[in-house]
Amino acid sequence: MKRKNRKLHLVLLWILVSSLFSNVQAQIKEDGSDRTALGDKLAPYFRPPAAYQEQLGAFRSPLKFYDGRLVKDATDWSLRRKEINSTWHRMMGPWPELITDQQFIYLDSIQKDGYTQYRVSFRWLPQETTEGYLLVPFGKQKRPAVITVFYEPQTAIGQGKAGRDFARALVKRGFVTLSIGTSETTANKTYSLYYPSIDRATIQPLSLLAYAAANAFQVLAKVPQVNADKIGIMGHSYGGKWAMFASCLYEKFACGVWSDPGIVFDETKGSAVNYWEPWYLGYYPPPWKDGWRERGLVAGAQGLYPELMNKGFDLQELHALMAPRPFLVSGGSSDPVERWIALNHTIQVNELLGYVNRVAMTNRAEHAPNDKSNEQAYLFLEYFLK
């Protein structure tokens, strides 16, 4: 009888060890070889074409202090980063205190295929609440998360133009997603956020959008299923500008995907790279004759934008604030392949800090995202957040 029991114990032990070994092998495959394969697939997006490698153009180097001193090491970069960040905040207007003491108010919910879609509200400005959509996969485990930003929150959950349903696509890949947008001001064609009010704003609207996204980060991080260290942000066009400024100016975002926002000032692109508009960096107070001046015209631009141009500022300085956090430019007609010249400056910052493969760009001919460019973006988010 004892021999039978001993034999049974040995069989059970063998089954347990085999199970543990299989689980370890599966974990190694998931965290090792699968990640390596994904990294290999993404590798081409981190390399500029030969014609643009190490080309820096006329952009002012982020590795040079405004007084001309060179950044020589990581300690210097920490000081230089603070200089860039404080300078831009001073020029655009300082943010109010972040709103850290709130949680989502859940307004309703719908069970979808593999996830729950909640309509939620929260305060994104000191004096203003907004509504958006929180998409949570079934299950209680901690997950990475992505905030998606656009003119309104419906498009990203699949109720808008094709190819822009970022929140819905990502929740099906295992991310918690939060879709937000400027529905009210899009409807009245003032397009952005204004603090404390539209007729006496003290912050350039594009910076205030970034502040609102930072508050969205704060409240999303409190969701029990969210890994607060793994929250990214993604947007297209208007949303791409929003995602870029948010991820650059708020360092808790783990990574960013910017879909064809126009990553540098480029007046040759007309109304597509229109940072001079009063709802971006060209805000000016009233009087207004008939609302804003005619959309798309750079002539007569007011507000901060002309000052930035006159003083030689461009957005490569903001890109550098991402280092060493990764970001992907999903480039289209507004961000063609030659944008690598600007991105090379952030590559240099990452190299100084000892990092590689943190700056990526893909390219397509059209402004609109497509299945291929979206798949590239989703794989990038999976690699760095999952």
Local structure of 362: helix, strand or coil: strand
Residue with tokens 């295992």: 174
Residue with tokens 């190694």: 28
Distance in angstroms (rounded) separating the CA atoms of residues 215 and 252: 11
Quick: pLDDT tens for 227-271: 999 999 999 999 999 999 999 999 999 999 999 999 999 999 988
Quick: pLDDT tens for 71-122: 999 999 999 999 999 999 999 999 999 999 999 999 999 999 999 999 999 9
Local structure of 127: helix, strand or coil: coil
Alpha helices, DSSP H only, in the chain? 2-28, 34-42, 74-92, 166-171, 183-187, 205-220, 238-249, 304-310, 316-320, 340-353, 371-385
Give the pLDDT of residue 32: 58
Q: Is the pLDDT of residue 18 over 60?
A: no
Quick: pLDDT tens for 222-231: 999 999 999 9
Q: Is the pLDDT of residue 194 over 90?
A: yes
Distance in angstroms (rounded) separating the CA atoms of residues 340 and 77: 22
Quick: pLDDT tens for 108-144: 999 999 999 999 999 999 999 999 999 999 999 999 9
Distance in angstroms (rounded) separating the CA atoms of residues 333 and 337: 10
CB neighbour class for 336 (10 Å; exposed up to 12, middle 13-18, buried from 19)? middle
Give the pLDDT of residue 9: 54
Quick: pLDDT tens for 309-328: 999 999 999 999 999 999 99
